[in-house]
Amino acid sequence: MEHQTEILIVMLVYMTLLILFGLYHGRKVKTGSDYAIGGRNLPGWVAALSERATGESSWALLGLPGAAYATGLTEIWTALGCVVGILTAWIAISWRLQKEAEKFKADTFIEYIAKKHNDLGKWIRIVGSLTIVFFFFFYVGAQFLGGGKILDTMFHIDPSVGMLITAIVIVPYTIYGGFRSVVYTDVIQALVMISALIIGPIVGVVYLSNHPELFAQSIPMALEKAGPAYNSLIEASSGFAAGIVIVGGFSWFFGYLGGQPQLSMRFMAIQSSRQAKSARNIGIGWTIIAYIGALSLGWIGIAIFGPDGLEDREYVLPAVLIKIFPPVIAAILITGVIAAITSTANSLLILSATELSENLIKPAMPSGKTVKNSLLNSRIITAALAVIALIVAYYSPSEMIFTLVSYVWAGIGGTFSVVILLTLFWKKYHGRAALLTIISGLVFTILWISTGMDEVITSRLLTFFVAGFVAVLSTIIIPEKQ
């Protein structure tokens, strides 16, 4: 890769400053609540930027540009589903979750659901927390694998060594400062990400017009020259096949409706309703700009390299930045991209650790334990999970880990979106129905994906409706436990 030395130097400086910044904010953590949810005292702008960095880092910087490079205009449906889902979450759900978390003094995602449905709170804690810990544990392993892949692609570092480097960068400040350190380092990541997604497309369009030797001199010309499938919103399909393309892309919408715990925790951590409103505006603005930029960079990649010019389509954003910027500027932007992607693991790690600590281990401990012991236990659990996740990533086949991760968006996102929506908006929804919703959504997702039916109709769509059907039916026919 070009300019490896410049990028490596900038990356070392950036990562060092990021670690120090995370440790600095970790000093303010004094209690278990600080560690798990920042004391529910985050400024709105911090929560908004952290939520966006957590939700979109690898997707907005590698996945979406890569998909746009590979499929052209068709990827607009995926982007539209994500954007509408994110906007709905910020407009209708974020401030309600903030109020509910404050009202019930909930420090974790599952703790809120359990306290709200106290008639079956114990079982909701057990089933919900074990489910999240299991799937997100492998999700953390996948992030370590992803970090190793990125460092291998960029610097030809052995993937195993890259995984270890990824862990060394993010794990220490996550163990020390918990949710608070993770959130504030996310803010830096979100600012660098949005800078790349604004500046990159603007400079890219100018670059295309000034280089006639390229595959195309504009995005429309690139899509037209690449072929009918690239220049069509439905991959040049028609009828039922076109409907499948649209539904498959838009189905990402359902996972954003409160069902992703790592995102909902940011809503719950906002300090007040007033701050929730400012967070909503920042979150919505960031999302719209970022998705336009990510799609544009993928299409600019077609214009620069042609539709078959890149061996790895997910490399398109770094490749475009290196092509259109001077080495130092490209190094700064790419370093932010790498850091944002590799640090996604910290949000997943702290979520898994606090769910395990607060909902399974803490209730089983003898009463009278000090706050200091609670905080120490949380840090020990976080460290243990990080070590085990790294070992699993080393020794498990990557296909198995990424298969389990594929269950997360449907099984966790689709299922818990139903639980959160009905918990917030339907007073008759009760604990027994909530527990059945969680179990049915997860079982359906596992069966649907493992039997190969996900290739026919995506579980991202069906899980939401199956879980919703079970939730409504069980609420109506099963009496609430008194």
| Comparison of pLDDT for 141 and 384, the residue scoring more | 384
Segments forming the whole domain that contains residue 331: 4-393
pLDDT(59) > 80: no
- Residue-wise pLDDT tens digits, 358-413: 888 877 766 555 455 678 888 999 999 999 988 988 887 776 766 777 778 788 99
In this predicted structure, what is the pLDDT of residue 261?
A: 93
| Comparison of pLDDT for 390 and 470, the residue scoring more | 470
pLDDT(60) > 60: yes
Domain-embedded: residue 89: yes
pLDDT(137) > 90: no
Domain-embedded: residue 470: no
Domain-embedded: residue 424: no
| Residue 180 near residue 35, CB atoms below 8 Å | yes
Whole-angstrom CA distances from 128 to 240, 261, 405, 413, 437 are: 37, 11, 17, 12, 11
The CATH number assigned to the domain holding 289 equals 1.20.1730.10
In this predicted structure, what is the pLDDT of residue 251?
A: 80
Q: In sequence order, which ranges of 76-158 are alpha helices (DSSP H)?
A: 76-88, 94-104, 109-116, 121-155
Give the pLDDT mean for 335-356: 81
pTM of the predicted model as reported, rounded to 2 decimal places:
0.90
Domain-embedded: residue 231: yes
In this predicted structure, what is the pLDDT of residue 343?
A: 67
In this predicted structure, what is the pLDDT of residue 454?
A: 83
In this predicted structure, what is the pLDDT of residue 86?
A: 94
pLDDT(199) > 80: yes
- Residue-wise pLDDT tens digits, 216-270: 999 999 999 998 888 887 765 555 566 676 777 778 888 899 999 999 999 999 9
Q: Which amino acid is at 78?
A: T
* Helix, strand, coil in percent for the chain, rounding step 5: 85, 0, 15
Domain-embedded: residue 459: no
Which residues have CB under 8 Å from 39's CB, separation 6+? 31, 33, 180
Q: For all residues of the chain together, what is the average pLDDT?
A: 87
pLDDT(11) > 90: no
Domain-embedded: residue 335: yes
In this predicted structure, what is the pLDDT of residue 311?
A: 84
pLDDT(85) > 60: yes
| Comparison of pLDDT for 278 and 249, the residue scoring more | 278
Domain-embedded: residue 245: yes
Domain-embedded: residue 299: yes
3-state secondary structure of 129: helix
In this predicted structure, what is the pLDDT of residue 422?
A: 97
Q: How many domains does the chain have?
A: 1
Phi/psi for 218 (5° steps) reads -160, 165
In this predicted structure, what is the pLDDT of residue 128?
A: 94
pLDDT(122) > 80: yes
Give the pLDDT mean for 95-107: 94
DSSP state of 42: B
| Comparison of pLDDT for 406 and 80, the residue scoring more | 80
| Comparison of pLDDT for 455 and 356, the residue scoring more | 356
Give the pLDDT mean for 151-164: 83
